[in-house]
Structure 1
Amino acid sequence: MNTTAEIESDSQAQTIRRLSRWVTIATAALLMVTWKLWTPQTIFPQIPFLELLTGTPGWVDWVLLFGVVGALVVTLFSPPPDRFGRLAMGVFAVCLTGLISLDQHRLQPWAWQFLLIAWLLITVPNKSGLHWCRWLTVSIYAWSAVSKLNYSFLHEHANLFLGVIADWTGTKLADWPDTVQMLAAWVFPLGELLVALLLILWPHRRIGLWASWLMHGTLIALVGPFGLQHEWGVLLWNVFFIGQNALLYPRRTGDAFGHQFIKELRPREFVASIPIVTALVLPLTSLRGWFDEWPSWAVYTGRAEQVRVEIREDVRESIPKDLPISDASTGDTLDFQPWRSVNLGRWSLETLETPIYPQSRFRLAVAAAISERLPDEFGIRVTVRSATDRKSGARWTETYRGREAIEQLLDRFWLNTQARRIWSP
């Protein structure tokens, strides 16, 4: 007869297998709906994290992508904690890291989360691994909520969601009293914080699970086909959370959350946990702009830096044909030529079917890549708007004209801002 410890161990191993299969299925689905992003495409500039990678040929992307797909297939049929499954998950993590290093645009929030989960399944595929997965999930909810506690979200960006709700109820958001609008806006960050808190408190974890399902179901409705009609990647990521939480927070679980298992960590597991602990803490630095928004789980905040790119009318024939340019002049006729606004966000959505990476570092690098194709280095200018002040929503604004001015602006960043040579003319 099996002992209680053996039964619990078998149950944990089964949960790990199910979780790894669910991550595999979700990764495959998200790769399919954003497949252009992961290929060596030349329709949108690719900005590696390191300058030494700018000369990487396109076939390397195909090799890494093949490695990711192959590892997913193996993991689906032989998931961790099996030795062969852990090896396949390791190949997946290495190849996905390689793809991301070749293009900062690929550091999607879901890709970052799956890399962290893969690390746990490789290094600590046992009771400790499940605990760390729970902590990771709670941190995503908590940091996402904190990122929305700012003026821009509460007064402006939340109106995107509230407008959909108003349409569902047959009303107009403009007709809602200001107090009602503000209270409704606060529901989004406070709801995420409540879910995180309930998932931490063991007696209320089941309530937290149901609350998380309600939250993700609501988000799917708001951004789905009957709401804001956002990309499939956003919808699938929310679907992943629904399945993941069902696995991580089963109906019967009596283990304590977060303190007892840390005392029981073996030395190897303690060392393996350092990257996860780092990932849990790093979002704190994003509040000061020292760490990127997406790996800090700051989504839909409305606070991010903004970069406006404008092209002079007489050089627009030299830029990519699919680049979305406004037909309306900005009203400035410097050099006796009108300027046209370029929508980088729409360009990313139309060509790669994924939102553009939010950091100004990346967007300025894309602007610099566009400038390489212009016959006149002064045919482009960018206007940089800082992240909003959390209390007032204020931004500072600066405009830079010409390729050299943009490149000088890019020199302040530590990470690479040069496009891969497969893009260069």
Structure 2
Amino acid sequence: MSWKDFFTSESTDTGRIRDRLRLALGLATLVMLVLSWPLWIDRGAFPRVPFVAGFPELKGSLTFIPFAVLLAAVGLSTAGIAWKSSMAIGIGTLLVLILGDQHRFQPWTYQFLMIGILLVSLPPDRALLYARWWFAALYFYSGLSKLDVSFCNELGNLFLVTAVRPLGLEPAEWPAAGRMAAILAMPLWEIGVAIALIVPRTRRMGLAAALVLHTALLWILGPWGLRHSTIVLVWNVAMMVEIAIVFGPNFSCSTRADAATRRELWLGRPAQFLFWIAVILPLCERKGWFDAWPGHALYASHVERTEVFLHEAQWDELTPDLRAHLQDPGQDSWRRFDLTAWSREARGVPIYPQGRACNGLAEAIAARYRGRLLIKVVQWGPADRWTGRRSRVECLGFKAIQRQGNGYRLNSHPAG
């Protein structure tokens, strides 16, 4: 496939369109893997909280091996060299690495896993059809997750201020109704994009609206706005390319039933089952039965929160990596420790937002000092959609943090 073929959108050859998607997905994933390399290699600076207690993983310099295998597999599949086998190896390696550390389950790694499984397991036309449903579900659930009081009062307001302040506008001076309408425009836009992409007659309009959405996100999250990580910007650019590939040309599912197609359909049935489970489960995210990121609750304010506080009596005993992320002191003797800033500096990505994963990080900090550290953890449950109220649990000391971790359905204790 030539570069001219890659950028030509009039072709209805589903195999060629699938190859374009594979190339775009692979290139973006390679870039994000390289940018997030501290996430995959053990340098001893950041604790690991596996999905399964006791999950084995290589340590130290040996962790270069699975990461190198992952990069090689994704690179070969992107280049089209035995791409199905290479992508299958990449998916398997990535899945093992994620099981060994919940913080590796970033939204973009989840997307690579799901779309990669579709590309490997299904005929081109069906893989592209399911990929369309995947992107539509992502936009729909992302918008739905923001339709609540907490988004309007918190992150939505921050997004609005960041977006319009360079234009000389100040939302605080607007009427309350106008400011609320501007904040809700983003989640409603996302839901509108999802619906428009599903309906054939409005698909081009939906594609254009999606491109506008990601352009706005780049404006808000970029270096001239909230200055989020480069990985976030790369993912948004990659999404623009991928949806242009998937929703640009018209194609239809073939009804032919030759031996190769029947074999691919048979092999793809588990992938189809997994796909529909992944599309349905986000409905359970607000109930706490499914995690926020795989539930496409992206930049949502209602998700669980964890606050870690360290007592002033032991600040001087803290290692430099911990001391660097203590917030300014308040009126009492406790200072908040910024888990997200710690993760961004040590691993280049934000922390996994679930309470259990953050509880595991707090337990690891306490264990570093053999339980002698004066540490306090406050766990806030998901915010109510209409009132914004959250449940609150406070744990004081190492043993209390461990007991809190025992109450989660999935593992919340750090490795080792």
Normalising by the residue count of structure 2, what TM-score does the alignment of the two structures yield?
Answer: 0.90
Partner of 1:322 in structure 2? 321
Is the Cα–Cα contact under 8 Å of residues 54 and 418 in structure 1 kept in the other structure?
no
How far did 1:319 drift? Answer: 3.3
| Cα distance in 1, alignment partners of residues 84 and 330 from structure 2 | 55
Where 1:329 maps in the other structure, the secondary structure is coil
1:335 maps to which residue?
none
Aligned twin of 2:150: 152
Deviations 1:374-412 (A, max 9, x none): 255361111122211110011222321110111011101
Contact 1:231 1:353 survives alignment (8 Å): yes
Identity percentage of aligned residues: 32
- Once the two structures are superposed, the pairs formed by residues 24-423 of structure 1 within 5 Å of their partners are 24-53=26-55, 56-59=58-61, 61-78=63-80, 84-251=82-249, 253=250, 255=252, 266-323=265-322, 324-326=324-326, 328-332=328-332, 338-374=333-369, 377=372, 379-421=374-416
Amino acid at match of 1:321: P
Letter in 2 for 1:191: W
Q: Within 2, Cα distance between the matches of 1:209 and 1:157?
A: 25
SS in 2 for 1:399: strand
Letter in 1 for 2:329: S
Distance 2:126 2:57 in 1: 41
5+ residue gaps, structure 1:
1-7, 257-263, 333-337
**Is the 8 Å Cα contact of residues 371 and 380 (structure 1) preserved in structure 2?**
yes
TM-score (norm 1): 0.89
Q: Structure 1 pair 150/327, CA: closer, same or farther in 2 (3 Å)?
A: closer
Alignment RMSD (CA, Å): 2.1
SS where residue 309 of structure 1 aligns? strand
Partner of residue 3, structure 1: none
- Tell me what 1:5 maps to: none
User: Following the alignment from structure 2 to structure 1, what is the Cα–Cα distance between the partners of residues 327 and 344?
Assistant: 19
Runs of 4+ in 1 over 6 A off after TM superposition: none
Match of 1:13 among 7, 10, 15: 15
Give the unaligned 5+ runs of structure 2: 1-9, 254-261
After superposition, what is the alpha-carbon deviation per residue over 1:236-281, rounded to whole angstroms, capped at 9, x for unaligned? Answer: 1111111101111124x1538xxxxxxx994443333111111111
For the 8 Å contact 2:14–2:251, the answer to whether it is kept is no
Instruction: Give the CA deviation at 1:326.
Output: 3.4
Whole-angstrom CA distance in 2 between matches of 1:370 and 1:403: 9
CA contact 2:207–2:244 (8 Å) conserved in 1:
yes
Q: How many residues are treated as equivalent by the alignment? A: 398
CA shift in 2, pair 1:61/1:97, >3 Å = farther
Q: Which residue of 2 aligns with 1:22?
A: 24
Change beyond 3 A, Cα 1:11–1:99: same
Counterpart-to-counterpart distance in 2, 1:325 and 1:167: 28
Deviation sequence 1:144-175 (CA, Å, 0-9, x none): 01111111002221111111133122122211
- CA separation of 1:418/1:172 partners in 2, compared to 1, >3 Å: closer, same or farther? same
